[in-house]
Amino acid sequence: MADFRLMQELAIESSSKIVLLVLDGLGGIPLSPGGPTELEAAQRPNMNRLAAQGTLGQTLPVGHGITPGSGPGHLGLFGYDPLQYDIGRGVLEAFGIGVEVGPDDVAARGNFCTVDERGEIIDRRAGRIATEAARPLVEKLAAISLAGVELEVKPVKEYRFVVVMRGQNLSAALSETDPQRTGAPPLPVRPLDPAADRTARLFNQWLESARQRLARDHPANMVTLRGFSGDPRLPKFESIYKMRPACLAVYPMYRGVARLVGMTTIDVRGDKPEDEFRALAAVWADFDFFFVHIKPTDSRGEDGDFNAKVKVIESVDSALPILLDLKPDVLVITGDHSTPAKMRTHSWHPVPLLLWAPETIRPDDEQVFGERACAHGGLGTIRAADLMPIALAHGGRLTKYGA
C-alpha cells in the first residue's frame, strides 16, 4: 500500500508505450545435469538480440521458495504484493471457466462427493467422476432457485464445479463445508461475520436442495463448497500508474485477473502468439500498457513435455517482430512463475526477466535470454512486484522523489 502511495505520487502521464509479455510458467530446469532449460534450448534469435541490447534479471513472484498459483503470479507482475492482495479461490476458479464475478457476487468452488446412508462422506471426490458424467449433475444443480438471489453453476473438470450467487448485500465471509476427511458429514456453512448471516442461510438452503436432487446419483450424491470469495476490490491499475491498460489473453482466467485490476480485455481471434500480437497492434493507439499472456508454455510444462514447451517459446520468438514493429518504448519479457517440464507443475524457481528499452537502458554483460544469463543480469533478483516501477521509469512515467 505504501508502494502504491509512492506510485500515485510519482506517476505522470506520458505518450510512451509499455508491453509486458508474460510467457506463463516460462522458467524451467534442465532435464539432466548440465543440460539446457527449455528457454535455453529454444531457437530464440529475437529474444537473444533483445537480451544483448537490454538487461536481464530474475523475479521472485511471491518470495524465496514460494510456488505461486496463477492469481498471485500475475498480481505480483502487476505490482500488487501477492502476500497483501488476495484473489479468492472461488473467484479464480470462476474466472478460469469464463464466469464473471461482479462486485456484489460471491463465488465458491464446488466438489461432488460421495456420502453414505448416514450422510457421512466416504469419498471427497466422488470417485473423480469424468467431466462428461458431471455435466448432467451440474445441470440439476443449476436448476436450483432461491428467493432474492440469482445463481450460476458451471462445470469445471471432473468432480469440480463453480457456484456464483448474485444479489444485494451478500458477503463471502463464510466457512467451508468440506470437513477435509472421510467419515464425517459435510459441514454447514457458517457466517464468519454477522454481515454474512443471510448469505450463509442461502448457501445452506442451496446445499440442502442439492442433497435432495442428487440423492440417487451415486457416487456423486452430495457436494461440498470451498473458497467462498467475492471481488477483492483491488486498487485499480490506472489510478495507481496513470496508464490505460489493455489485456491480450486467450484464457479466461487471465482475462479475469486483468479485469480485477481494471484492465480492458481485448478480444483475440485465434490463439497463436501472432494472433495476440496482431490484436495488440489493432488497439496500439488506444492504450499505454499492454499485458500479453501466452498460456501454452505453462500447459506444456505441466504436461511434462520439454520439447513442446521449447516449441512454444520458439513460436513466440518468431512472432516477436510483429510486436517490435510497433516500436514499444519498454518491453518486458518474463513469466508469472516457473513450470519446469521435468517437474510437471508450477515451481518456486526465480523467473527469467528481460527488460528492453532502447532509449534508457543500461545494458549488462549478458548476450542471451536464458536462466543462467538471467542469474547474473544487471537487474539482479527482484520481487516481481518491483518490476512495474522499473518499467514505468524506463517509460519516463515516474517523476523524481524529493528535491
Copy the grid coordinates of residue 78.
502487476
Q: List the one residue from 34, 106, 285, 311 that touches its own copies (CB under 8 A).
A: 34
Q: Are 268 and 286 in contact (CB under 8 A)?
A: no
How many whole angstroms separate alpha carbon 370 and alpha carbon 18?
22
> Is the CB of 71 or the CB of 230 nearer to its own copies?
71
For the beta carbon of residue 198, count every other beta carbon within 10 angstroms: 17
> C-beta of 333: minimal distance to its own copies in Å?
18
- Cis peptide bond prior to 321, omega within 30° of 0: no
Q: List the one residue from 65, 168, 212, 285 that touches its own copies (CB under 8 A).
A: 65
For the beta carbon of residue 262, count every other beta carbon within 10 angstroms: 16
Number of residues that bind its own copies (CB under 8 A): 73
Q: Is 325 left (phi over 0), alpha (psi -120 to 50) or beta?
A: alpha
Q: List the one residue from 1, 15, 33, 147 that touches its own copies (CB under 8 A).
A: 33
> By CB under 8 A, what part of segment 148-187 binds its own copies?
none
Q: How many CA atoms lie within 13 A of 252 on its CB side?
A: 12
> C-beta of 349: minimal distance to its own copies in Å?
5
> Is the CB of 329 or the CB of 364 nearer to its own copies?
364
> By CB under 8 A, what part of segment 306-365 binds its own copies?
338, 340, 343, 346-350, 358, 360-365
**Mask for 195-234, x = binds its own copies (CB under 8 A):** --------------------------------x-------
Residue that is written with C-alpha cell 548440465 in the block: 34
Query: By CB under 8 A, is residue 70 in contact with its own copies?
Result: yes
> Is the CB of 334 or the CB of 338 nearer to its own copies?
338
> C-beta of 295: minimal distance to its own copies in Å?
16
> Is the CB of 62 or the CB of 268 nearer to its own copies?
62
Query: By CB under 8 A, is residue 16 in contact with its own copies?
Result: no
The stretch near its own copies (CB under 8 A) out of 193-201, 283-291, 322-330, 385-393 is: 385-393
> Is the CB of 68 or the CB of 273 nearer to its own copies?
68
The stretch near its own copies (CB under 8 A) out of 32-40, 186-194, 206-214, 258-266 is: 32-40
Secondary structure letter of residue 188 according to DSSP: P
57, β-bridge pairs:
353
CA angle 164, 167, 171 (to 5 degrees): 75
Residue that is written with C-alpha cell 517509460 in the block: 395
How many whole angstroms separate alpha carbon 61 and alpha carbon 73?
5
Q: Are 241 and 388 in contact (CB under 8 A)?
A: yes
Q: List the one residue from 4, 6, 111, 216 that touches its own copies (CB under 8 A).
A: 6
For the beta carbon of residue 124, count every other beta carbon within 10 angstroms: 17
Residue that is written with C-alpha cell 483491488 in the block: 234
> Is the CB of 203 or the CB of 241 nearer to its own copies?
241
Query: By CB under 8 A, is residue 69 in contact with its own copies?
Result: yes
> C-beta of 274: minimal distance to its own copies in Å?
27
Q: Is 264 left (phi over 0), alpha (psi -120 to 50) or beta?
A: beta
> Is the CB of 59 or the CB of 114 nearer to its own copies?
59
> By CB under 8 A, what part of segment 90-119 binds its own copies?
92-93
Q: List the one residue from 15, 64, 103, 194 that touches its own copies (CB under 8 A).
A: 64
> Is the CB of 221 or the CB of 229 nearer to its own copies?
229
How many whole angstroms separate alpha carbon 123 and alpha carbon 319?
47
Pairing state between β 330-334 and 351-356: antiparallel
